[in-house]
Amino acid sequence: MADLSAEDTKLVTLARTARARTGATQGAAVRDQTGRTYAGASVALAALTLSAVQVAVAMAVSSGAGTLEAAVVLGEHPDEASLAVLHELGPGITVHLADVDGTVTATY
């Protein structure tokens, strides 16, 4: 993670913690336009299935975030719906993909 900013390194840590806490297949964290961060883990219930990205974005929106600057998705790669929700709130968002140990494998 040496090439990540301190703020993006924090997102990796938050995504890892959210995933580890629940044992989920995916963890995610996002940062809004004011620097506030939100993290979530994927949810797989009989009546509700959400990606970690969808959880983190929902938390951000419900807290008043209007724009997202950066995101980290850890573990299972995001599906098209998750990527769409990131780009809806952050047209120029930086998205880091990482494996479960927090090593960033791709950035776009």
The boundaries of the domain holding residue 96 are 6-107
Which pair of tokens denotes residue 36? 């506030």
Which pair of tokens denotes residue 67? 């724009």
Q: Does residue 2 carry a pLDDT above 70?
A: no
Domain annotation covers residue 91:
yes
Model pLDDT, residue 3: 85
Which pair of tokens denotes residue 57? 């974005």
Domain annotation covers residue 54:
yes
Confidence bin at 36 (pLDDT 50/70/90): very high
Model pLDDT, residue 61: 98
Domain annotation covers residue 73:
yes
Domain annotation covers residue 1:
no
Confidence bin at 24 (pLDDT 50/70/90): very high
| Under 8 Å between Cβ of 26 and 52 | yes
How many structural domains comprise the chain?
A: 1
- Give the three-class secondary structure for 10: helix
Q: Is 73 exposed, middle or buried (0-12, 13-18, 19+ CB in 10 A)?
A: buried
Residues 38-95: pLDDT tens digits?
A: 999 999 999 999 999 999 999 999 999 999 999 999 999 999 999 999 999 998 999 9
CATH code of the domain covering residue 79: 3.40.140.10
pTM metric for this prediction: 0.94
Domain annotation covers residue 71:
yes
Model pLDDT, residue 1: 47
